[in-house]
Amino acid sequence: MNRRQLLTALGISSLALSFKGRSYISNKPIKKPIVLSTWYNQSVTANSPAWKILYRNGTALDAVEAGVQVSENDLENCCVGLGGNPDRDGIVTLDACLMDHQFQIGSVAALEQIKNPIQIARLVMEKTPHVMLVGQGAQQFALQNGFKLEGLQLSDHAQKTYQEWLKKSEYHPIINIEKTHGPSAPLSPESNEYNHDTIGMIALDIHGNLSGACTTSGMGFKMRGRVGDSPIIGAGLYVDNEVGAATATGQGEEVIRICGSFLVVEFMRQGYSPEQACKKAVERIRNKTPRNTKDLQVGFIALNKKGEYGAYALHKNFDFGVTSGNGETLKVDSPFILTS
Ligand code: SD4
């Protein structure tokens, strides 16, 4: 048995070999399976089907795909699936992607009238030579694969919020950091509460493999054609099975600007803990963006090969849910760097 095989047998990952000496390296037993997702209010329900799959020795990919569909199917959810808030023209457009432990990726953006964009993203990954389909082409592909076209009607809450928004038709990507977020949070155009709650979910299965999924209706009242970070591999989601996985929520433009989730994974590769890695990515946004971060929220969650997890946000009030061990979903408040 060589040194690598010996360490692997002892449960010490190959990552530990490369970065021994850093705080990230520990000999603690690997915590698996485990699944976490952005915004605790939706994690509670979304992690549950994911956990059932993981608990029965299923794959992380199947788990995250099943998990995020809970939010996609929830018409009360302001920010995921067809119940989400529309763009300025009153049309709901959906973005989603997933990535597995073998660097397989699939993504759809600006998809309209299709209920589960994450399923289409998976089909893009498995059935096409491409990694991303957008707009009409994505819709056509969904229909060719047996999906049905849903109506254009907005959900009740989206209709109400849109009518309210139309009075001024102003778009400020401002996030009221004083209020509690989550699907059940009060929706008001003034507070821009409706701009949140993309679900990003990352998981480590019993086989030691990582996968992730991310799905959203994007920022409410965005310009027609605007695409955020959520369907962009490396921005809204990234997985490297040797290292870890990360996903993002919040102002997508800022996440894209720094290749956010990729950056978090790369920081973990350098030996940083998931929390430290998320913090460094958030600091990168604060230090580099030409915009004023006072009104911008971004949050990352990350998970490494050891089942260690963490998060960081620009502002307070970002939380997430973690399910492992006995299957209970733990609420975790993310640390943050800015207080005003
Ligand atoms: C976007 N990142 O479209 C998404 C929005 C979001 O919680 O995460 N909301 O920019």
CB 128 within 8 A of CB 141: yes
Is 216 a residue of the active site? no
Centre of ligand 1 from the C-alpha of residue 14, in Å: 34
Closest Cα to atom 3, ligand 1: which residue? Answer: 218
What is the per-residue pLDDT across 19-36, written as a single tens digit (0 to 9) for each?
433 444 445 678 999 999
- Closest atom of ligand 1 relative to the 227 alpha carbon: 3
CB 306 within 8 A of CB 26: yes
Q: Which residue has the tokens 């109506």?
A: 151
What is the Cα 251 distance to its own chain's centre?
A: 12
What is the Cα 175 distance to its own chain's centre?
A: 18
CB 115 within 8 A of CB 81: yes
Please tell me if the CB atom of residue 79 comes closer than 6 angstroms to any atom of ligand 1. Answer: yes
Question: What is each CA distance from 278 to 30, 40, 98, 300, 302, in whole angstroms?
Answer: 20, 18, 20, 6, 7
Give pTM, 2 decimals.
Answer: 0.88
Choosing from 45, 59, 198, 293, which is the catalytic residue? 198
Please tell me if the CB atom of residue 310 comes closer than 6 angstroms to any atom of ligand 1. Answer: no
Phi/psi of residue 10, nearest 5 degrees = -80, 0
Name which of 212, 182, 184, 215 is nearest 50 in CA terms.
212
The SS3 call for residue 316 is coil
What is the Cα 299 distance to its own chain's centre?
A: 10
Name which of 92, 64, 107, 109 is nearest 228 in CA terms.
109
pLDDT at 321: 97
What is the per-residue pLDDT across 263-280, written as a single tens digit (0 to 9) for each?
999 999 999 999 999 999
Which CATH homologous superfamily contains domain 33-333?
(Glycosyl)asparaginase (3.60.20.30)
Please tell me if the CB atom of residue 37 comes closer than 6 angstroms to any atom of ligand 1. Answer: no
- Closest atom of ligand 1 relative to the 95 alpha carbon: 3
| 243: pLDDT strictly greater than 60 | yes
Return the H-helix or E-strand segment holding 35: strand 34-38
- Closest atom of ligand 1 relative to the 218 alpha carbon: 3
Centre of ligand 1 from the C-alpha of residue 250, in Å: 5
Token pair listed for 293: 């971060």
From 181, 219, 224, 298, the mutation candidate for ligand 1 (largest count of ligand atoms within 8 A of CB) is 219
CB 273 within 8 A of CB 24: yes
| 153: pLDDT strictly greater than 70 | yes
Amino acid at 284: R
Phi/psi of residue 99, nearest 5 degrees = -150, 140
- Residues facing 312 on adjacent strands: 300
Q: What single DSSP character describes residue 195?
A: G
Question: What is the domain partition of the chain in residue ranges?
Answer: 33-333
- Closest atom of ligand 1 relative to the 39 alpha carbon: 7
What is the Cα 153 distance to its own chain's centre?
A: 26
Question: What is each CA distance from 7 to 19, 26, 229, 244, 309, in whole angstroms?
Answer: 13, 12, 37, 19, 22
Please tell me if the CB atom of residue 301 comes closer than 6 angstroms to any atom of ligand 1. Answer: no
What is the per-residue pLDDT across 110-151, written as a single tens digit (0 to 9) for each?
999 999 999 999 999 999 999 999 999 999 999 999 999 999
What is the Cα 286 distance to its own chain's centre?
A: 20
What proportion of the chain, given as a percentage, has pLDDT over 70? Answer: 84
Q: Is 208 exposed, middle or buried (0-12, 13-18, 19+ CB in 10 A)?
A: middle
Any idea which of 66-70, 258-262, 293-297, 310-314 has the lowest mean pLDDT? 293-297
- Closest atom of ligand 1 relative to the 200 alpha carbon: 8
Centre of ligand 1 from the C-alpha of residue 169, in Å: 20
Please tell me if the CB atom of residue 205 comes closer than 6 angstroms to any atom of ligand 1. Answer: no
- The more confident residue out of 2 and 233 is 233
- CA-based max dimension of the chain: 71
Please tell me if the CB atom of residue 230 comes closer than 6 angstroms to any atom of ligand 1. Answer: yes
Structure confidence at residue 312 as a pLDDT band (50, 70, 90)? very high
Closest Cα to atom 10, ligand 1: which residue? Answer: 252
Please tell me if the CB atom of residue 62 comes closer than 6 angstroms to any atom of ligand 1. Answer: no
Please tell me if the CB atom of residue 219 comes closer than 6 angstroms to any atom of ligand 1. Answer: yes
Centre of ligand 1 from the C-alpha of residue 150, in Å: 23
